[in-house]
Amino acid sequence: MPRKETIKEALFNRRMLICIFTGFTSGLPLYFVYTLIPAWLRSEAVSLKEIGLFALIGLPYTWKFIWAPMMDRYVPPFLGRRRGWMLISQVLLLLSMGVMGFLNPLDSLWTIAYLAAAIAFFSASQDIVLDAYRREILPDAELGLGNSIHVNAYRIAGLIPGSLALILADHVDWVWVYIVVACFMLAGIGMTLVIREPNGNTNPPLSLKDAVVEPFKEFFQRLGRLRAFEILAFIFLYKLGDSMATALSTPFYIDLGFNLTEIGLVAKHAALWPAIIGGLLGGLLMVRIGINRSLWLFGLVQIITILGFAVLAEVGDDLWVLGIVIALEYLGVGLGTAAFVAFIARSTNTNYTATQLALFTAIAALPRTFANALTGYLVEGADAVENPVAFPILEFFGISAQGLGWTNFFLLCTAFAIPGMLLLFRVAPWNTSDTSYSKLSRAE
């Protein structure tokens, strides 16, 4: 039996350093699209309705599994299959992000929209290959820690377009703001040039058809249809309750009577840092107890912390309760995400990492879309005439036209978190060692 890696050995190695860089270079363009561009447009007097439509440019992050097979199949003529695609996407991001500031929002709004969509496409493409690379360099015992470090570096990267850039905009022209932010992509480019191609990553699919069909065929053959569908259902359901509970968090705080300054100072900071601490703590714990048991423990923490929102709904406008509830909730988010991302990575085969990871992460993103679409109706209700789509859904669940209200809504979110936990009996039993899954996830 191989010796179990110590926490010190797992934490202080070259692979974890690479995960810091993959997380940072992955998060930077996403927050660039979702944080910096809307702030810029609003500061230039673009209407809120037009800015709201910019949310559609995020579609490539959901649909990236469509072109992921091409990144598995085709190998660039330089640096290898993974590093070659990394460099291409990162250079395109550097150039397109830097060019953005030369456009005028009032004269070239559609051009800005097209360029932002291109940035989202390049960013999603980079995510495909970075996710694949991490899966291929991390041994199973380090999947939890490595991915939690990646996610936390991802979150910290948001401080560049979300904080530094906005501060710079008060002192220099927007052209220079965009150039400065774009230059942070050089960290990712430098990483790509220094790292090595993963060992054994030399057998791309023989045709594009194989790249599209084989990842799905292999997944169902390797695990069997029943277990494969159980894993897909688990990926969809595990974060469902958590996603629903946080989908309308800011409107919820406003309804309770908190002003925007209180929300900005307390709620946002109470969410960011506990999520980072939870992610790192979760990654370290997984080194000792494994992915399976972490999914159980962290999932229970998620369920308990969702109930904190119901408590807050009853207490009302109390800053201390707000800070404690949010800190505990996002500590649970950080813990749960660390184990969940590790589980998704473990479920792939290294011959088809890019396509399978792109598909699994797309499925995992669906609950957020589902939550954003229906949570408002769950809280406030729906009219049969004005909302012919939402009303039958609420009626099916026995919810009145008046809605649930905030307290009952969060109790429902807690209930929606239970099915994912029950699937753990099938997909990650408590007493089953993680090593029993290693052979299933490795290319033969």
Query: What is the DSSP track for 185-223?
Result: THHHHHHHHHS-PPTT-----SSHHHHHHHHHHHHHHHH
Reported confidence tier of residue 11, pLDDT bands at 50, 70, 90: low
Residue 277 and residue 316 in one domain: yes
Please check whether residues 196 and 222 belong to one and the same domain: no
Compute how many other C-beta atoms are within 10 angstroms of the C-beta atom of residue 51.
Answer: 17
Per the structure, the count of domains in the chain is 2
323-337 pLDDT, tens per residue?
A: 888 888 778 777 777
For residue 397, the model assigns a pLDDT of 56
Q: Tell me which residue range forms the domain holding 318.
A: 207-444
pLDDT tens-digit readout, 29-41: 988 887 777 777 7
Domain termination residue (choose one: 204, 237, 254): 204
How do residues 181-230 score in pLDDT, each as one tens digit? 999 999 999 999 999 888 765 567 777 777 778 888 888 888 888 888 88
In this predicted structure, the answer to whether residue 342 has a pLDDT above a threshold of 50 is yes
pLDDT, mean of residues 325-352: 79
Annotate 96-113 with b (16+ C-beta within 10 A) or e (fewer).
bbbebbebebeeebeebb
- The CATH number that applies at residue 106 is 1.20.1250.20
Tell the residue number behind the tokens 């809504």, with chain if given. 409
17-32 exposure pattern, b = at least 16 Cβ within 10 A, e = fewer: ebbbbbbbbbbbbbbb
Structure tokens at 170: 């008060």
Count of Cβ atoms closer than 10 Å to residue 402 Cβ: 9
Same domain, 163 and 255: no
Using the predicted structure, report yes or no on whether residue 46 has a pLDDT greater than 70. no
**Domain final residue, candidates 204, 219, 254:** 204
Average pLDDT score over residue span 410-416 = 88
Q: Which two tokens stand for residue 174?
A: 């927007």
- Provide the token pair at 389: 């789509």
Lowest mean pLDDT among 48-52, 78-82, 127-131, 347-351: 48-52
pLDDT-derived band at 95, boundaries 50, 70, 90: very high
Phi and psi dihedrals of 436, rounded to 5? Answer: -70, -15
Q: How far apart are CA 95 and CA 107, in angstroms?
A: 21
More confident: 235 or 93: 93
Alpha carbon of 13 to those of 19, 76, 137, 289: distances in Å? 10, 28, 12, 20
